[in-house]
Structure 1
Amino acid sequence: VILLRERIMRQAELLHQQSEFLKTTVESFPYPFYVVDAEDYTIKIANKIANPQGLTDPPTCYTLIHKNPKPCGETEHSCPLEEVKKTKKPVVVEHIHYDIDGNAKNTEVRGYPIFDHEGNVIQMIEFSLDISERKRAEEEIRTLNEEMENRLMEYITRFEAANKTLLTEFRKRKLSEEMLQKSEERYRSIVETANEGIGVIDANRRIIFVNKKMVDMLGYTMEEILGKDVFSFISEEDKLIGEEKFDQDKGVMKNLELKFRQKNGNFLWVLASGAPVFDSQGQYAGTMTMFMDITARKQAEDELKSSYEQIYALAVHLQSVAEEERTRIARDIHDEFGQRLTALKFDLSWLRSKISKIGGAAGGIIEKINSMLELTDSTIQWARRISTGLRPSVLDDLGIVSALQWLSEEFQNKTGIVCKFTSSGEDLNLVREKSTAVFRICQECLTNVARHAGASAVTVRLRKEENNIILEINDNGRGIGENEIANPKSFGLLGMRERAVILDGEINFKGIPKEGTTVMVKIPLDKPRLGNRIEGMM
């Protein structure tokens, strides 16, 4: 009797550990989980995500999830429970579910039958996946997520079926050594057939179990893995981060990206997620972790980063070419077209002086020549304005401070809006690409003030702070709105951002209704690095 009692106590303790382990695993899943009675639709089991208030008064699935007074099969949706009872097979349906706040969500419902010994469906396991974002995602990402979810759901379903059997037998006090052995075999079969690497790490971070998939992923034998510190298989650059995260969160790992070293020397990127395991006294005993191979995804991210680098290199080149072309056209207009117009003016003046000596009927011709001279003068002024607008010579000849002073005066003369320019007075000899960017950004800002701000005054300030050049523009207009700043069709703002980002700088817009708008530009004086810009944009 004593031996039998000790055996029963050991079996009960073992079952308790497995039960706690399974409960912890279920609660670690980020999806609503239910067990629904096949007869009265009541929810027998639900995790905290599915029902944070608990099941003290078990609701029906249609009142909790659908906010309906009757089963969904009698309304606009097919009922997964009815489908499972009819087909005795797992089903997948799409529903509109409601959370505890009454918000509607597009949901994918997966139902799995639980049978009694006669093969009748007595309960259904249900998982609810929010697919609102997934439907809007890229096809490749959607397929990858669906693949992972399907594999995870399959593993959870079989694992919970084993747990359900053990819990039921424990409540009935009919545990036996044969049932315990079968339960262990069922659990091992589930873990060994999973498509993700699964490992159990003890409280000292030693690996005490891995499945066959994890062995295949690392390329080591089972004997070479067991007993080793899990972080001995992680690359040096990720080891410190992983150890700190593991110790800090007491064995909890949530979507931690780590680079594992395989036996052949290659590296494998994995997405690690783990939940702590506690013993019967509630003490931390280790962590159960799932490892998903994301090497292909990381390679795709590297290729995407390379594409961004090529695009930004092209953007830099196009801006450089555009500025060079502006300079060339401005020079051609000023040197060629302007000189030819001046020569024409001199010829017309000479012709007028000659004809005026004839007298008599020459009065009409002289009047025409005067009209031509006026037209020539206005055309010369027009050519100068076009040349200056394309590339102000003051920017190349006198530098950014004089160029911004000239731009502010021109703006005030043309618009009547008071424009005050100040600078720190330091020597701001910027390289050509930086002075061009600062000038063009200021030019675009003043254009926006004239067109949209409704301002009566604007201030332009240029200064040097540490190793940065700062351009600040303030107006007293209506104040730009957040929707205007975020509008993807605000091409002027997008152009200013692009000019700043290409030079490793930043630009910020801030508007206060009826008080005005402030634009702050900061560009480093050292040489920009393309890699930094790409990482900032990604």
Structure 2
Amino acid sequence: MAVMRKAPSVRLLRAIIDSLPFPVFVTDPVTHAIQFANRRFQRAPDADRHLCHHLFHLPGEVCQAPEGYCPRETISRTGQPFISEQMHLDAAGREHWVEVQAHPVFDSDGTLAHIVEFTLDITEAKRRQRAQERETAINSALAQLAAQLIDPRHGIEEMARLTLGHAKWLTGAPHGFVSHIRPDDGALVSSTLTEMIKHECRMSAPDQRIVFPPGPDGRFRGLFGVPLSTGRPLLVNDPARHPAAIGVPPGHIPLENFLAVPALLGQKVVGEIALANKPGGFTADDQTVVQRLAELYAAGLQRQQNEDALQQLNLDLEQRVQQRTAELRQTVRQLKQANRQLHVLSAETHRICEERLADMSRLIHDEIGQLLTGLKAGLSWVERHLGERRSDAARLRERCQELKGMADEALEVSRNLARELRPHLLDHLGLAAAIEWLVGQFRRRTGIAVDLRNDWQESDLPAAARVEVYRIIQEALTNVARHAKASRVEIRLTREAEGLVGRVIDNGIGISRARLQKGFSLGLPGMRERARAIGGTFEVQSRLRHGTEVCLVLPRRAARSPRRKARPT
């Protein structure tokens, strides 16, 4: 690089300074006179003969900046370079922002001789900075509002109040209201408008929500109705001239300007944010900000509507559950009533069957038995009177003997059948004798050993209960003979803490669980019903290859006082 050995000429210095893309000038620190300026100063072509404030202020004005703002004053006081940002007005009164840098030039004895200043236009950078600061403030406000609108503690009225507060703060509008469309009838509802009318418009209004119903065509009248009907924002700074204007009610504040933005969910209008009377009028930026607020407000309305719908669903579900529960309870009551009637009917059926069996037993014993006895007596008489008068007397006697044998056999069958139908021992000698006879018959018929132990007293059970106990033991022994393949049976009638307990235990092959659950071929339902009829319980326990135990339990109260058999109604 070549090094300049000689001091640059004034012409060269001017050429260098004129080539700079920003204004540069030199002023006298005492008189403020501009001693030199480059070509970037378009406002003052003859700047050498002007004072410095002529370049930055309106003609005829003197710098009225506060202390520390003027470069000359600051450098004269401190002797240090000065940098500041300043707002200047052009001839049209428009703002221009510049960064002013001023540097002192001292003579050989240290006296301030000149001030070299240059300015950088930062108007665009300042605009971007302001826009960024506003965007940050808007985003912060939107984030705060979003958190409030998703809070389930805030209902529709509180959401409207919060949204209106943010809209006023972000736009500078002093008046406004936030409303929502009522889903059931499409009316516009606003509680914030109520408060504005009461406190700002000095109008008498009831302490309730103000409701604006749509017209017959479904559209709303007035300026606020335009966004609701079209789904698009409305910004007017001369409301009276708008075609939709219909004026304001008496006492209402005059409208100087108006901004209304619909709250949309998709293409559906669900509410509105309306503002009025911003000083200086609304701008497109205001409309954009309010649209962003309206998006959040619409989301909040959707959240509230979803919560309301969910709450209504929960209420409907609870009502359905309550209704269903009531129906089930009614059904259970009906089933219980039917079950009670069934038990009564079953008990009555058993009683009637026992009466019929007793009648049949008496008929067989009394009528058929007497006939067979008479037949046998007649045959005996014939046998005695045949004598020796005929050659075939021997053969007739033989035939009479055969007939007498058949009559004896028929008579024994009729007696056994009568005992099976209704053991007369039960009626005449009691339960213990009847069971002993039943066990004896079982031994003779099956060859199975039976161990009987009876600790019950005859007075423990009334007559009706004795019949049911006898039938249960009879059916249990029948099952052993048919199915158990047992070699031994134990019958235990004991007195225990829970009452009278009767057990029939065999050492047979047992009963499978599936067959035990069905139980019909084993007569289990009938035995269980007989036990229930006399106030007892009936259980069967069995395992394959480990035998079966049938257990009847009659609580002491049931044993002493069995249920009275009522006739079904």
Return the TM-score normalized by structure 2.
Answer: 0.46
Return the TM-score normalized by structure 1.
Answer: 0.49
* Bigger radius of gyration: 2
